Amino acid sequence: MSEQPTPYDDEITARELARHENEVTNHRMEWFGTINGFLFAALGFAWGSPNGARLVAVLSVAGALVSFFTICTLTASTRAMSNLSKFPVARRPDGRRAPGIVGIDPDPGFRWIGSILAIWTLIPVTFLVVWIWLFFNGPLAHSKLSPPSIQHSTVSENGG
């Protein structure tokens, strides 16, 4: 016969889930930083080239999309951590307060502020703003991308 899990087993499970979520968040930030590093390096090469305006626009859109999806996944991760931090307290049958999953237990009324103002959420938001600004204010915004006009040379009647 299998034993019923105790509240303490649930706390251990919740801590393992929180540890895993934290690790996944770190991986997401590492990938975000790596991809943005490559995009900015490519942007540096494209910015000064004569035909780089379109490439700057493409890189800006790619950077904005990476930032947006990173914001979405990190916000979900923050919400998951918030849910995990409430788990052991709600599961204790004896009403005792568990030591907690995370180091700080914010007031439930202000918990949403932590998910919005978390540094791992603010960094991608900042990058998103920069990529959008680059798209609208980069070389594409200041160039005329019409097909090049053909210059007809006029030959004078004297042959020269």
What global pTM score does this model have?
A: 0.71
- Per-residue tens of pLDDT for the chain, all 160 residues: 567 666 567 777 878 888 898 899 899 999 999 999 999 999 999 988 888 888 999 999 999 999 999 999 988 888 888 777 776 555 556 656 556 666 665 566 666 666 667 777 889 999 999 999 999 988 777 666 544 445 555 555 565 5
Number of domains observed in the structure of the chain: 1
Tell whether 62 is covered by a domain.
yes
Tell whether 39 is covered by a domain.
yes
Query: Which residue range forms the structural domain that includes residue 57?
Result: 7-140
Tell whether 107 is covered by a domain.
yes
Angle between helices 119-137 and 7-48 (to 10 degrees): 20
Q: Which residues of 53-81 are buried (b: 16+ CB within 10 A; e: fewer)?
A: bebbbebbebbbebbeebbeebbebbebb
